[in-house]
Amino acid sequence: MIRLGTGRLDRVVAVGAHCDDIAIGAGGTLLTLCLARPGIRVDALVLSGGGGEREQEERAALAAFCPGADLRLTVHKLPDGRLPAHWDEAKAAVEELRAGTEPDLVLAPRTDDAHQDHRGLAKLMTTAFRDHLVLGYEIVKWDGDLGRPAAYQPLSPETAERKVRLLQEHYPSQHHRPWYDREAFLGLARIRGIESNARYAEAFAVTKLTLDLGE
């Protein structure tokens, strides 16, 4: 297993189409980053769920997933499941985010995610953040769209357990969903851990990666 670091990380962008996407797909990675780098800036953008219970859940959750970070979260009100019909608004939100930050790392949905909102946001991110490392997180769902990831972030058992605990604690509105449980979250993390020679891990797709091996 080859391990390549990204150098110093001072700024991270994390985006989701819906409240809880970021935490489900990359919550363990955010915990790992923020605990290792107190004061790291995290610019987070969520396209739907603004103005209600979902936004309240998201603000409390991301504060817990980004301990000690300079967290700046924006939650918009695009209708769930309708991103393609609101393309201009979504694109404007992403461009506004891009204008306000120069991140070292971008966490976003995968471009081949089966959900149209996830997929649409992912495509916007790779055009707005052309010269950045964009890692596409995965979200387990009934579509069966999980693939073969290209990048892994190992998670300590403590971090994996903490992620699951925070997901259960901060998103009560999702508890009725049949896939939203400890077994699903920890089971996928265990599988990705096996693939990366770790106990647990989060996995990511990489659309494009430029190496600098001469330094």
Looking at residue 13, what DSSP letter applies?
Answer: E
If you write DSSP's letter for every residue of 92-135 in order, what string do you get? HHHHHHHHT---SEEEEE-TT-SSHHHHHHHHHHHHHSTTS-EE
**Class for domain 11-141+148-206, per CATH?**
alpha beta
Question: Tell me: the pLDDT tens digits for 93-111?
Answer: 999 999 999 999 999 999 9
Question: Tell me: the pLDDT tens digits for 124-168?
Answer: 998 999 989 999 999 999 999 998 999 999 999 999 999 999 999
Q: Give the 3-state secondary structure of residue 203.
A: strand
Q: Which has the closest alpha carbon to 19: 56, 53, 46?
A: 46
Q: Report angle CA 20, 93, 14 to the nearest 5 degrees.
A: 40
Predicted pLDDT at 174: 94
Task: For residue 54, give the amino acid letter.
Answer: R
The residues spanned by each domain of the chain are: 11-141+148-206
Question: Tell me: the pLDDT tens digits for 15-46?
Answer: 999 999 999 999 999 999 999 999 999 999 99
Q: Which has the closest alpha carbon to 119: 109, 107, 132?
A: 109
Terminal alpha carbon distance of the chain: 21
pLDDT exceeds cutoff 70 at 5: no
pTM of the model: 0.95
